[in-house]
Amino acid sequence: MRDDATAVPSGGSKRKKIAFAALGVLVVAGVGVAVFLPDEEPALSIPARVCGEAVPTAHVKSLLPEKGEAFEEGSVFFTAGTAGGTGKCELSGGGRSLAIKYSRIQDPAYDQERVRSEAAKPGNTRLSLGPAEGYIGGYGASLFVGCPYAGGRKDLLAVSVAVGGISKITDSAMQVRVSALTADVARGVARDVVGCEGAADLPDSAPKIG
C-alpha cells in the first residue's frame, strides 16, 4: 500500500512557502521603488545678483552644487552708501559655502609689490585683473585694487573669496571658477560699494592666472 502522507504538504510548509513568496514580492517592489523613485533633492534657486546686488551669480552658480540644501545669503556692508572699512557676504547651498569679503588696507607698506611677493610664495598662484593683482591659494583667491583715499593716502581694496566644503584648490578648472568670481567681486565692490577711483581701470574680461 502506498503511503501518500509525504505527497501532501503540511500546514506549516504551506505557510512557509507563502511567507517566502511574500518576501520575494516585497524585495522586488523595493528594487522597483529604488529604480523608479525620482530624485527628491531640490534644485538650488539662486537670484541673478547677490551681496546687496553688487555681485552677479553666474560664477557663484559654477561653484555651488546644482541641487541640495536650499540657497542662503547673508551680507553686511555690501550696499552702496553703507560701505565701511570692511564687509562680508556669506552664501551657501547644496552643502557648500562661499565666504566673500572686502577690506580697505590703510598700511602704506602693504602695496602691490607686497602683494606680488605673497603671490610668489609656495602654494600660491599669481592672479591679475588689469592693474589689480592677487593670488589663488589654499581654499580661495584674493585681488587687491588701488583705492586712493582723501589726503593722498594710497589704500588698497582687498577682496577675497573662500570656498568651504572642498579640499584645497589645486586643479585648474576650480582655479578658473574661483578667480572669475573673485574678479566679479572686485569689480562690484570697487565700482558700486566702495567707489574706488581705480575701479574704472578694471576690465570686464576674465582675470589672468599665472
At 10 the pLDDT is 52
pLDDT bucket at 1, cuts 50 / 70 / 90: very low
CA distances 200 to 27, 151, 208, Å, are: 66, 20, 18
Cell of 82: 553703507
- Digit-coded pLDDT (tens) for 125-162: 999 999 999 999 999 999 999 998 877 788 999 999 99
Average pLDDT, the chain: 84
At 183 the pLDDT is 99
Task: Please give the full DSSP string across the chain, using - where no structure is assigned.
Answer: ---GGGGS--HHHHHHHHHHHHHHHHHHHHHHHHHHSPP-PPBP---SEETTTTEESHHHHHHS-SBSSPPEEEEES-STT---SEEEEEEEETTEEEEEEEEEE--TT--HHHHHHHHTSTT-EEEEETTEEEEEETTEEEEEEE--BTTTB--EEEEEEEEESS----SHHHHHHHHHHHHHHHHHIIIIIS--GGGGG--SSPPEE-
- Digit-coded pLDDT (tens) for 14-62: 444 444 444 444 344 444 444 444 557 899 999 999 999 999 999 999 9
Its pTM stands at 0.80
Tell me, what amino acid is at 18? I
**Residue 174 in this model has a pLDDT that exceeds 80:** yes
Percentage of the chain beyond pLDDT 90 is 67
At 198 the pLDDT is 85
